[in-house]
Amino acid sequence: MKFRKYLASLLAGAILITSLYGCSMPFTSDNTSDNSSEISYIPFDNKAATTEDIIQFIIQSMENNNNECDIFVADDKLIDANEWLTQISGIEQIKCEYRRVKDGYNMVITYDCWDNYAIMKAYNSDNTSQLNDRQLELYNKYIEILSEVTSPQKSDYENELAIHDYLVSHITYIDNGGSTFNAYDALINGEAVCSGYTESFKTFMDMLGIENYTLSGTAGNQQHIWNVVKLGDDWYHVDVTWDDPVGSSSEYIDHGYFNISDADMAIDHTWESAVNTASPANGYIYTYPVQAKLQSVNTQKEFDNYILRCIRNRVKHIEFTTTADLDIKSAVSNAGTQLSYAYKTTNRTNYTLYSVTFTDKKQVTCYMCLYQAL
């Protein structure tokens, strides 16, 4: 969402406020002339010529445990709190007050950080003395979950998958309009919107030493935020939120948005990011179908036999790939068993993901994820 920035008269100032909240993530701006009256007319010492300069000043301020940063810019086009928010991991809300001064503008930037920032400082220093009670509770929860589902003996991929599956299993997507935006709500209260899933996943990746960054953009006609991770030499998108669909009652976890490429993500997500441009997500080796070694089913006859074996063996969860145009209704009918079923699809550049749930009279469930090549 772009800001409508305006500069008041020479003596007046303005305020820009933006928040990275929820999957609707409302960006708000307020332009006034009274709150900026205390800003100095003398150009600040921190002088930024580019957006990158501004971001580095803010990051340095964060590292110094400050929540305010004073910067002078000559060009008002650089006053864009939305851009700073999307490029700096760990900031939850940012506000910029600015005033016209000689040869440019003085900006007073204040911000609220994710708990992730303080928690990672404590984790890396092995010192929790600077954490408040809320952060300490969340820190201990992170350590508890890491001990429960990850291991130094596992690969980065295995630990990443374990964290993804834990979050999907233990968090419910709920947008209550104001208190489910962060990792505390996600991990302690079990409720979150996309920013809560994303902050939680990022912190786990940081703790595991897996290189990562966050992306914000749009998905489903709403503003949205998700993660990108580096495994081996390649980057992959991970959208934990979209693998935890609203209203899903399945006991099985979706992986349709786990470790996918830019091309696949761009089917239903949009974004603009200099970080992504520099580090595009084009990995293949650590995609879920490859790592899970999904069976390939290439004819209707193979498909019929596969479904029949599933039903006879009471297998509850099946995942496989296909290059054929398969008929699910026919396969179920040919199995000779009275089953009800429901399915959903997720489009990809080279396949379509089918999720099919079967239930017989004894309530035995067969859940199938079908990757069908286009």
In tens, the pLDDT along 360-374 reads 644 444 444 455 444
Backbone angles phi, psi at 348, to 5 degrees: -130, 170
> Do the Cβ atoms of 44 and 73 come closer than 8 Å?
no
**Partners of 270 in the β-ladder:** 218
What is the predicted pLDDT for the residue at 201? 97
Measured distance CA(221)–CA(204) in Å, rounded:
28
Per-residue tokens: 87: 């490029």
Measured distance CA(67)–CA(57) in Å, rounded:
12
Q: Which CATH class is domain 115-288?
A: alpha beta
**Partners of 48 in the β-ladder:** 73
> Do the Cβ atoms of 258 and 161 come closer than 8 Å?
yes
What is the predicted pLDDT for the residue at 137? 97
E-assigned strand segments in 33-156: 47-48, 68-73, 91-101, 104-113
Per-residue tokens: 122: 């404590």
The answer, as to whether pTM is greater than 0.85, is no
Residue extents of the structural domains in the chain: 13-113, 115-288, 295-373
Measured distance CA(99)–CA(257) in Å, rounded:
44
* Segment-wise mean pLDDT, segments of 10 residues, the chain, 374 residues: 28 49 42 54 93 93 86 94 78 86 93 86 94 95 98 98 97 76 92 93 97 91 92 98 76 89 96 87 95 88 90 80 85 80 79 74 46 46
Residues 6+ positions from 238 with CB-CB distance below 8 Å: 160, 164, 201, 226, 227, 228, 229, 257, 258, 259
Q: Helices in 112-151 by DSSP H: which ranges?
A: 115-125, 133-149
What is the predicted pLDDT for the residue at 2? 30
In the chain, how long is the greatest CA-to-CA distance?
A: 83
What is the predicted pLDDT for the residue at 274? 77
DSSP string, 291-305: HTTPEE--SHHHHHH
Give the pLDDT confidence of 80-124 residue by residue, as tens digits.
887 887 677 777 778 899 999 999 999 999 988 888 888 998 999
What is the predicted pLDDT for the residue at 373? 44
